[in-house]
Amino acid sequence: MKIRAAVAAVVSTLVLTTSWLLGGGPAGAAGYVRGPDPTAATFQQGPFTVASFTVANAATPGFGAATIYYPTPLDGTYGGVAIVPGFTGTQAAVAWLGPRLASNGFVVITLDTNSPFDQPAARGTELLAALDYLTGTSAVHANVDASRLAVMGHSMGGGGALEAAKTRPSLKATVDLSPWNTDRTWPEIVSPSLVVGAEKDTTAPVATYAIPMYTGMTSAPEKAYLELNEGTHSTVTAPNTAVATATVSWVKRFLDGDTRYSAFLCPGPTASQTGAVSQYLNTCPI
């Protein structure tokens, strides 16, 4: 009996270790916990080294040229994120988010659109095509968990992310950066959604776009609205600590089920007219 008990203990240890190495966290633990406990430094550079490669326009089905960022060494599977720019923009406008997210344990594809003038609905379709490519035929598809996917976008790309989530309700999260769309109400959204607005945005004023979109997500199980103090429409296209903290925390929480990041979302940043965030709304608990 003692020998059987010892063998059972060894097998149990092997199962736990294998699960952890494959990226699933300890057996029996919720989510896909990876890496050390998050600190403020985590949102500047995560615990993973990042590699990337480009994909030519001719090789991408349904969208333009793209860049894929991924953590190294690729060990097990990771959540996947697709990010699209706004009207007339290229993937360079959202490129900083690629390595920032990948260094925290995600495979990320930033993409150009078929036309720089594509409207939000087309950008939503292109986001979904990028996710299908990422999980289906890309060079890293075996390391992307097709059940843990998110979409992000800036401006019309943010509106496109909402269109994608409306079309594919199985998405685990959306992040909508200074979003623009003729549709201001989104009761169809059932994915946890983070909306980021900018106080001085004159292209997509928050009172007309971001705030009504956030308010209109009446079916979203969790949602948050972050407003950047003195921010403009292009503020999110450059590295920004407040945006990185909220974005990384959002995808870690809802793609990985990592509750260690909840503290950065609920109660979240303190809003003030002198700090980085002028307004923060959420549906705590997250």
**Residue of 138, 154, 176, 233 with catalytic role:** 233
Give the dihedral sign, CA 202/208/213/214.
positive
Please give the single-letter amino acid code of residue 130: A
201 is catalytic: yes
Distance, in Å, from the CA atom of 86 to the CA atom of 35, rounded to the nearest integer, reads 32
Q: Residue 266 burial (CB < 10 Å; 0-12/13-18/19+)?
A: middle
CB 279 within 8 A of CB 271: yes
154 catalytic, yes or no? no
Which two structure tokens, joined as six digits, stand for 260? 């260690």
Closest by CA to 104, choosing from 27, 47, 184, is 47
Indicate which residue of 103, 138, 155, 191 is catalytic. Answer: 155
What tokens appear for 218 in the block? 């009446």
CA distance 226 to 224: 7
Catalytically annotated residue among 112, 201, 256, 258: 201
Give Cβ neighbours of residue 45 (< 8 Å, ≥ 6 apart): 100, 103
- Is residue 141 annotated as a catalytic residue, yes or no? no
Token pair listed for 209: 């776009």
Hey, is 106 helix, strand or coil? Answer: strand
Residues 6+ apart with CB under 8 A from 223: 192, 193, 194, 195, 214, 217, 282, 283
Which residues participate in catalysis according to the annotation? 155, 201, 233
